[in-house]
Structure 1
Amino acid sequence: MTATMLAGRLDVAKGAFAVEEVPVPAPGPGEVLIKVEAAGVCLSDVHLIEGMLKPLYLKGDKVTLGHEVAGTVHTLGEGVTGTAVGDRVLLQAGETRDGVVHTRGVDYDGGWAEYALATATTLVPIPDELPFEQACFIPDAVSTPWAAITATGAVRPAEAVGVWGVGGLGAHGVQLLRAIGAFPIVAVDPLPAARERALAFGADAALDPADPGFAGLLREATGGRPLSVAFDFAGVAPVREQAMATLGEHGRLVLVGLTNKPLTVTNGTLVSYLRQQIRGHYGSEGQDVVDLVNLVRGGRLEFSRSVSGTFPLAEAARAVEALEHKEGDPIRLVLKP
């Protein structure tokens, strides 16, 4: 192994991103050095580069991006047990330090690199049949909608559910809702390609939110039932108002997409009368990732359709540009060191 490696580094103070040559880190006690095989490119990475998101706990001005990471164990630090060199693993997207959640690739160096450090407890073994390109984005791109559905939204089988925004998170949301038995699943997106994708991923209907007959088409899709749960994966204020209006008694609006715009409730009296709820959601728990890997191992889930393209690590800036401009309407772009 050479003494240096390539890494996609963000200078937070200057807002400058570049792939640079940096020293290969050495694992300390309780740490593991991972040879990165694949790393996901997430919209939050784009937002970090643009300055829309800022690290809260980063020490210094520079960080290696990448919170969706999979690879093999290369070197064990002192005292590490339960894993061995060569093991195939993915990394949890963050960890708790002194009672505070720190995010990989945001608050400390992530996996847009040839090698990455990880606390041993953040390793999740993956089966041989799960490709690294699919494993890397299970933390976040899959685990976030999974937790939104199973925990925050508490969706039950046969509940009518709406999904607004069928991008990287929303597409997996449709797939996972199908897996747990929601019915019907109505996807809502202004892009024809996204609506087609939703149907391919298991939606029972896919609607254009700007269609003048939207309300009638929704009633037709649900057999006249109001929605029990509506998920906003887009993070767009008008989406939230439209989604809220589709809910019935005890309906839940789950806010997954992030926005700093105000949330408007047009008819507060009706929300109270129907005892509806607005629930915020962010991220997932470590067990969610473990559960999803087990579902893949058991043949219940697979994510081959989610890999929209791969880029060499050296072309990370190009991958960011492709995602920013939604070239090819990607679900997940993946970096390969």
Structure 2
Amino acid sequence: MSTAAVGSRCRGRFAPSPTGPLHFGSLVAALGSFADARSGAGEWLVRIEDLDRTREVPGAADGMLRTLEAFGLHWDGPVLYQRLRTDAYAAALERLVAQGLCYPCGCTRREIALRARPGLEGPIYPGTCRNGLPPGRAARSVRLRTTHASIRFADAILGPQTQDVAEVVGDFVLRRADGIHAYQLAVVVDDAEQGITNVVRGADLLASTPRQILLQRHLGLPKPVYAHLPLALGADGRKLSKSLAALPVDAARPLPALLAAWRFLGQEAPPEPCKDVASFWAWALPNWQRHLVPSQGLNVTVLI
């Protein structure tokens, strides 16, 4: 894979985890990233985030790829599988360790929960091992040492964003106790390796972006443009997720779901009914308008 986009061409990506079939929320993310890249004659890549093999559903990755093809979401180049890239993540972690930016942690989740204050995504690590492992303790995970400094970036949909990572997240894990490299590290390494210029994804990952920008700075990697799409919500107001088996899309009938996802993202409806997937994309790509994407999630039950 190239480490940079060709010239100034946009390069986007879709990076699902193979934990179940493609559902409507995932389709929204795929469609938004695809349309955003392709409308400017850019490239669109697919990455399977399968580092945590314990969560993987057998056959899910292949099923997702078949579904994407049925929906006309054709990608450029080979599919990247994270499970094959552990050496790249280990090398990046070694670079951070060499800079003195990481430290080993011997704490269990229970120990952290007993001492931590609440944070953005759970307990904030209390710093028990920040100055060295306590006597008799062995390293379990590796954490990034954070400092109180605001990370600022402009989201292309949601506008200016600011987060003090140390304050709201704390020293976060880069390699877990089970030896698996954390999502935050892997996604940063992969985006740079694939030359991703535009990350268009669901707003549930907005809070992760400052951590990723922090790692990009430490590793000397380029920062993509970020755009976070509204979340597809169920009738109860909760985010749709694979774990709830919510609204899996039907690869045998792609056009209704495509049109629903298009409307969900605030785009103008085609002036005439589309007869098939090819005619939908022939009309949709020249008419994609990012500025029309709403900034908040919607109840998808009123759309499909």
Task: For CA contacts below 8 A with separation 6 or more, give which structure has more relative contact order.
Answer: 2
Give the TM interval when normalised to the shorter protein. Answer: under 0.3
Using structure 2 for the length normalisation, give the TM-score.
0.28
Q: Which structure: greater helix fraction?
A: 2
